[in-house]
Amino acid sequence: MAKKNKARVPDDEQQIDSEPNSNHQTLYEVLGVERTASQQEIKKAYYKLALRLHPDKNPGDEEAKEKFQQLQTVISILGDEEKRAVYDQTGCVDDADLSGDAVQNLSEFFRTMYKQVTEADIEEFEANYRGSESEKNDLIDLYKKCKGNMDRLFCSMLCSDPKFDSHRFKDILDEAIAAGELKETKAYEKWAKKVSEIKPPTSPLKRRAESSSNKPETDLYAMIAQRQNQRKDRFDSMFSSLASKYGGGDMPEPTEEEFEAAQRKLDSGRSSKKAKQSKRK
């Protein structure tokens, strides 16, 4: 009886064991990728192995078939961000362990570890960060990455505002350029010249104005209510005008088109009146 030839499995597939977690081999090691690999890198490694281990390419090879099935388990976990997160924390490879209560418990675990960030937390961080050595280092790093393009820099710089921080950042960068830490670029030179022509703020580190940072929410509600009342008064005035024009309560209620036409007429009248007053002045 002729001996059945067994298809050879390539060397880089020999790393796949019969069980994903056997011999303490991680799923990342099975695919040959780093633990920090992106989804694109994971899928690329999977496709490469899947093509070589596919049963159609290895007819009659039970070992290749088993490893191909094993590969499906690996990608079902690492290819799913939620299951991957649970696996990274627990090492579980069973689908039952990677869903339901395990995910819920993990979510609760993260909630207890990382408290909810409030506006007060953000303001505290901003107060500690602005003017710190960390801010200075970040500024210099971003200057290098943006090649002195300050518009791009402000888009990436934490807790920054061109209106309040331009002069302050210019002083820091000028000092670094003078010390030889940075090279002055044409983009920065142009920006610095423009900033020099603007009057600097009196308290650059106090970016949040008191009028906007500590206003109670009731002020907002009061403003909304006031505007609603103003709109109501305008509508009441318009209805009175319509009632007078069309004969009061004896006439049917105006249609929506008539209502909008009257509104436009009133607005047009007000605009014309304002325009005439402006010309007289």
241-268 tens-digit pLDDT:
656 555 555 555 556 676 677 767 777 7
- Across 233-239, average pLDDT: 62
Going by pLDDT thresholds of 50, 70 and 90, the confidence category of residue 140 is very high
**What's the confidence (pLDDT) of residue 74?**
87
Distance CA 116, CA 96 (A): 30
Between 259 and 49, name the one with better pLDDT: 49
User: 92, 101 in Cβ contact below 8 A?
Assistant: no
Q: How many CB atoms lie within 10 A of CB 61?
A: 19
Q: Which two tokens stand for residue 251?
A: 């006439």
User: 60, 7 in Cβ contact below 8 A?
Assistant: yes
**What's the confidence (pLDDT) of residue 184?**
95
Look at the block and give the residue holding tokens 């009342």.
229
Q: What's the whole-model pTM score?
A: 0.39
- Across 180-204, average pLDDT: 90
With CA atoms as reference, report the closest residue to 164 among 215, 202, 119: 202
Look at the block and give the residue holding tokens 């049963």.
55
Between 211 and 189, name the one with better pLDDT: 189
